[in-house]
Amino acid sequence: MKNVLLIRRYAKAFLDYTIENDMVDQGLADLELLTETLNEHRELRIILSQPFVTKSRKENIIKRVFQGIISDKTLTFIDLILEKNHAEILPDIIVIYRDMYNRYKNIAIVTITTVVKIDKQTQQNLLRFIKHKVNGNIKVINKIDKSIIGGFIINHLDYQYDASIYTKLRDLEALFTDNLYVKGY
C-alpha cells in the first residue's frame, strides 16, 4: 500500500527546493525525463525497487544513467529518496509534483476527447464550454477515442461536459427501454 502522505511530502519538498533554487521548470523537465526512462526500461524500474540491491549501487546506477542529462540538484533529490529506501514511490512523487507544479504556475489542465485529432481553432471553439469553470492558463490535452463515435467530451478536474454521440445513443436507449406504451389508450 502506498503512503500518500509520504509521497505528497516528498513532492512538496522537491517543489520548495526547486522554487528556492529557481529551477521549477528544470525540476519538472528532469522528473519527466526520469519518468519516461523508467517507463521505457523495465529493468531499471525492477533494480530500483529491489530491496536486495544496495542503496549505493542504486545511486551509482542513477548517476551513470542520468549524470549530465538532468541537473545535479535533481540527482541529489533522487539520491535522498534512494537513501531513505523509497525508490518504489518515485513515479508517484513525479505525478504529485506535476500537479503541484501546475497549481504553482496557475495552469489548468483541460482534456478534450474526440474521435479525430482537432486543430487549434476547433480547440478554442470547444473551450468556450468550459471557460467559465477554469481559472488560470489553460493547457489542453487532446485524447482520441474512437468509441465515442462522434462529438466531444471535455474534462477539467471533476467537471465533465459530454457531447458525444455514444452518450446520446446510450441515453436514447435508456429512454426506449422504458416501455411507455400502455395498452388501452
The confidence band for 180, taking pLDDT boundaries of 50, 70 and 90, is low
Q: What tens digit of pLDDT does each residue of 15-51 get?
A: 999 999 999 999 999 999 998 998 899 898 888 888 8
| C-alpha–C-alpha distance, residues 99 and 14, integer Å | 13
The confidence band for 181, taking pLDDT boundaries of 50, 70 and 90, is low
Angle (CA) 166-171-173 rounded to 5° is 95
Q: What is the 3-state secondary structure (H, E, C) of the chain?
A: CCCHHHHHHHHHHHHHHHHHCCCHHHHHHHHHHHHHHHHHCHHHHHHHHCCCCCHHHHHHHHHHHHECCECHHHHHHHHHHHHCCCHHHHHHHHHHHHHHHHHHCCEEEEEEEECCCCCHHHHHHHHCCCHHHCCCEEEEEEEECHHHCCEEEEEECCEEEEEEHHHHHHHHHHHHHCCCCCCCC
- Residue range 77-98: average pLDDT? 90
pLDDT score at 173: 86
Sequence length of the chain is: 185
pLDDT score at 74: 94
Percent of the chain at pLDDT above 90?
Answer: 60
pLDDT over 80 (residue 94): yes
The confidence band for 13, taking pLDDT boundaries of 50, 70 and 90, is very high
The confidence band for 184, taking pLDDT boundaries of 50, 70 and 90, is low
- pTM for this predicted structure: 0.77
- Residue range 164-168: average pLDDT? 94
